[in-house]
């Protein structure tokens, strides 16, 4: 898609499977080619709007070249397996299937894999709740895992699946009902010298009362019995309390830290072997303490000091905007900022009264990975250009003091996200504009190199924090003038 969009004369371009929803989106864009009437979900569509036909043809050629260069070509003697059974016949040692098809077809593909005795990473989203429940009930009865739907991250036996990071082997197992929550946990564990044994992503709905924590319990039970795991870190947005209770109790005598972001702890019974944490950072810090390690100081900043950044602001700037590519990082920021600033509006609000549209001069945190922002466009973790238009829009609001950006590294993410964002950040911060507070999620073993990405952002004057949680405290400090907020204990 990016190859087409960057071609001269191109106004808009997309590359999608021809599902009914995607075909409707193409028609909404004014694409009326008669071939769409016979396209099916097994077809792949490239579409371009350009200044002239030659530019459109050239862009389509670039798109086809990008697709077929990335996809191994078949020959008469080397045909690639097209079904689960064919794949198992060709590679009988396979034990995990990654399912990434449109939601309407995902349950069938996942069931086929489970029936063949495979664990499933269900990357697909928009899977109906009833299908998720049926798949997880069946999987649990067979001692298998269904990671997902919408499971963006896992690491099994050292192999990263989805948007995973390059981390060292250690003795902490992570079970996460949160994609970027899992990534934040695994990268902090790596950077703080502990590492991970396994990362099991179970999908954002797993700890709801509807799904009853079926896969979270399976994941915790597996890690409880894993000789390579000494402690378990459970990561989730607010779960159903009774479900969370069952999940943490399933750890038995294995130490478990539960980072349940936004959980109301009243009436929540905590076994002696369990530690509750309110943020991802404090969850990882508590896990280190369980293992006899001391967590590092996370209050230091890279880039200008808070006071310097505050002094650069034009008078009257008092609001915070968070523009996130990671949904869990957005939710964590909503919880932190809400406790400090009051109402924070969002497309994924923690309080239904704080839905969009937001009033003028309000605090806002947006999850730009949600469908309303990615329809017809790549996810901002894949293409940072998808976030730049929204960044410019919020920077133009003269009430804004600080803008939070998360920069997520790892396999599957953009090869140089900081390089794309840094020039725009420099432009925005000039002449008293809002200050950029950035957090880089990753490790130095990631393809993009964590330290290099941080250096790129600091080189243009952005504040860069040690954890995602600290970015929210730094932004609140800039907006309120209370610089001591950065020292808030977690």
Q: For residue range 307-326, what is the model confidence (pLDDT) as tens digits?
A: 999 999 999 999 999 999 99
Residue 16 within a domain: yes
Q: Which residues contact 399 (CB under 8 A, 6 or more apart)?
A: 316, 317, 318, 319, 360, 361
For the CA atoms of 289, 290, 292, 298, what is the dihedral angle to 10 degrees?
-20
Q: What is the pLDDT of residue 34?
A: 80
- Residues 66 and 91 occupy one common structural domain: no
- Residues 225 and 305 occupy one common structural domain: no
Q: How far apart are the first and last CA of the chain?
A: 41
Beta strand pairing status for 463-465 and 301-302?
Answer: antiparallel
Contacts 24+ apart (CB under 8 A), 417-420: 417/381, 417/384, 417/448, 417/453, 418/448, 418/452, 418/453, 418/454, 418/456, 418/457, 419/456, 420/384, 420/385, 420/388
- Residues 312 and 192 occupy one common structural domain: no
Classified as helix, coil or strand, 298 is coil
Least confident residue range of 98-102, 165-169, 175-179, 194-198: 98-102
Give the mean model confidence (pLDDT) for residues 282-307.
96
Residue 472 within a domain: yes
Higher-confidence position of 226 and 41: 226
Of 280, 259, 187, the closest CA to residue 468 belongs to 280
- Residues 54 and 135 occupy one common structural domain: no
Give the mean model confidence (pLDDT) for residues 279-303.
97
Residue 336 binned pLDDT confidence (cut-offs 50, 70, 90): very high
Classified as helix, coil or strand, 349 is coil
Beta strand pairing status for 159-162 and 153-156?
Answer: antiparallel
| Phi then psi dihedrals of residue 146, to 5 deg | -115, 105
Residue 264 binned pLDDT confidence (cut-offs 50, 70, 90): confident
What is the domain count for the chain?
3
Question: Rounded distance, CA 429 to CA 236, Å?
Answer: 34
Q: What is the pLDDT of residue 158?
A: 92
- Residues 221 and 338 occupy one common structural domain: no
Higher-confidence position of 22 and 481: 481
- Residues 215 and 286 occupy one common structural domain: yes
- Residues 172 and 245 occupy one common structural domain: yes
CATH assignment of the domain containing 418 = 3.40.50.261
Residue 245 within a domain: yes
Of 34, 180, 36, the closest CA to residue 14 belongs to 36
Q: Take residue 310 and report the two structure tokens written for it.
A: 């505050």
Give the mean model confidence (pLDDT) for residues 242-271.
92
Residue 75 within a domain: no
**Angle subtended at Cα 392 by Cα 388 and Cα 394, rounded to the nearest 5 degrees:** 115
Q: Which of 30, 45, 70 is the last residue of a domain?
A: 70
Classified as helix, coil or strand, 462 is coil
Q: What is the pLDDT of residue 79?
A: 62
Residue 19 binned pLDDT confidence (cut-offs 50, 70, 90): confident
Residue 76 within a domain: no
DSSP character for 238? S
- Residues 326 and 397 occupy one common structural domain: yes
Q: Are 124 and 102 in contact (CB under 8 A)?
A: yes
Residue 336 within a domain: yes
Give the mean model confidence (pLDDT) for residues 397-403.
98
Residue 357 has pLDDT above 80, yes or no: yes
Least confident residue range of 2-11, 105-114, 332-341: 2-11
Give the tens place of pLDDT for each residue, 149-165. Answer: 988 899 999 999 989 99
Looking at every residue in the chain, the average pLDDT score rounds to 92
Q: What is the pLDDT of residue 74?
A: 55
Residue 56 has pLDDT above 90, yes or no: no
Give the tens place of pLDDT for each residue, 248-259. Answer: 999 999 999 999
Give the mean model confidence (pLDDT) for residues 121-133.
93
The boundaries of the domain holding residue 373 are 301-487
Higher-confidence position of 274 and 267: 274
- Residues 245 and 274 occupy one common structural domain: yes
Least confident residue range of 82-96, 217-231, 415-429: 82-96
- Residues 195 and 93 occupy one common structural domain: yes
Give the mean model confidence (pLDDT) for residues 5-16.
84
Q: What is the pLDDT of residue 77?
A: 53
- Residues 102 and 8 occupy one common structural domain: no
Give the tens place of pLDDT for each residue, 64-94. Answer: 887 766 555 555 455 677 778 888 888 889 9
Residue 26 within a domain: yes
Q: What is the pLDDT of residue 267?
A: 79
Of 121, 218, 119, 210, the closest CA to residue 175 belongs to 218
DSSP H or E run through 50:
strand 44-50
Q: Are 432 and 314 in contact (CB under 8 A)?
A: yes
**Gyration radius from the chain CA atoms:** 23
Give the mean model confidence (pLDDT) for residues 229-240.
96
Q: What is the pLDDT of residue 85?
A: 83
Give the mean model confidence (pLDDT) for residues 415-434.
97
Residue 449 within a domain: yes
- Residues 234 and 165 occupy one common structural domain: yes
Q: Which of 290, 325, 342 is the last residue of a domain?
A: 290
Q: Which of 290, 316, 336 is the last residue of a domain?
A: 290
């Amino acid at each position: 898609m990016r190859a087409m969009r960057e071609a001269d004369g191109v106004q808009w371009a997309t590359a999608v499977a021809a599902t009914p929803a995607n075909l409707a989106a193409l028609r909404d864009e004014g694409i009326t080619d008669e071939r769409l009437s016979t396209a099916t979900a097994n077809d792949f569509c490239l579409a371009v709007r350009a200044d002239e036909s030659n530019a459109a043809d050239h862009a389509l050629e670039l798109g086809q070249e990008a697709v077929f260069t990335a996809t191994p070509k078949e020959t008469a003697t080397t045909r690639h397996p097209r079904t689960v059974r064919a794949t198992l016949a060709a590679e009988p040692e396979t034990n995990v299937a990654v399912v990434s098809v449109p939601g309407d077809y995902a349950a069938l593909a996942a069931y086929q894999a489970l029936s063949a005795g495979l664990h499933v990473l269900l990357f697909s989203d928009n899977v109906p709740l009833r299908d998720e429940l049926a798949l997880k009930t069946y999987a649990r009865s067979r001692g298998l895992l269904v990671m997902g739907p919408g499971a963006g991250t896992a690491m099994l036996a050292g192999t990263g699946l989805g948007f995973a990071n390059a981390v060292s082997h250690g003795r902490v197992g992570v079970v996460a009902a949160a994609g970027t929550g899992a990534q934040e946990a695994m990268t902090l564990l790596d950077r703080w010298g502990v590492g991970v044994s396994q990362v099991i992503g179970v999908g954002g709905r797993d700890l709801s009362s509807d799904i009853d924590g079926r896969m979270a319990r399976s994941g915790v039970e597996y890690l409880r019995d894993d000789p390579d795991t000494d402690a378990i870190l459970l990561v989730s947005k607010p779960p159903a309390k009774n479900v969370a209770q069952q999940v943490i109790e399933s750890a038995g005598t294995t130490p478990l830290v539960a980072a349940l972001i936004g959980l109301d702890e009243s009436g929540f019974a905590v076994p002696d072997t369990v530690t509750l944490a309110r943020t991802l950072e404090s969850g990882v810090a508590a896990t280190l303490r369980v293992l006899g390690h001391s967590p590092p100081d996370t209050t230091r900043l890279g880039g200008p000091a808070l006071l310097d950044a505050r002094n650069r602001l034009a008078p009257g700037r008092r609001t915070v905007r968070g523009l996130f590519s990671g949904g869990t990082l957005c939710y964590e920021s909503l919880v932190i900022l809400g406790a400090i600033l009051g109402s924070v509006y969002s497309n994924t609000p923690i309080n239904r009264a704080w839905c969009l549209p937001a009033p003028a001069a309000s605090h806002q945190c947006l999850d730009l990975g949600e469908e309303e922002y990615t329809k017809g466009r790549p996810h901002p973790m894949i293409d940072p250009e998808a976030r730049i238009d929204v960044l410019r829009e919020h920077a133009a609001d003269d009430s804004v003091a600080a803008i939070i950006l998360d920069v997520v590294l790892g396999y599957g993410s953009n090869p140089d996200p900081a390089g794309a964002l840094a020039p725009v950040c420099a432009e925005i911060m000039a002449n008293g504009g809002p200050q950029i507070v950035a957090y880089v999620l990753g490790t130095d073993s990631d393809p993009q190199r964590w330290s290099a990405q941080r250096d790129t952002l600091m080189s243009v004057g952005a504040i860069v924090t040690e954890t995602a949680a600290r970015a929210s405290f730094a932004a609140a400090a800039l907006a309120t003038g209370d610089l001591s907020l950065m020292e808030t204990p977690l």
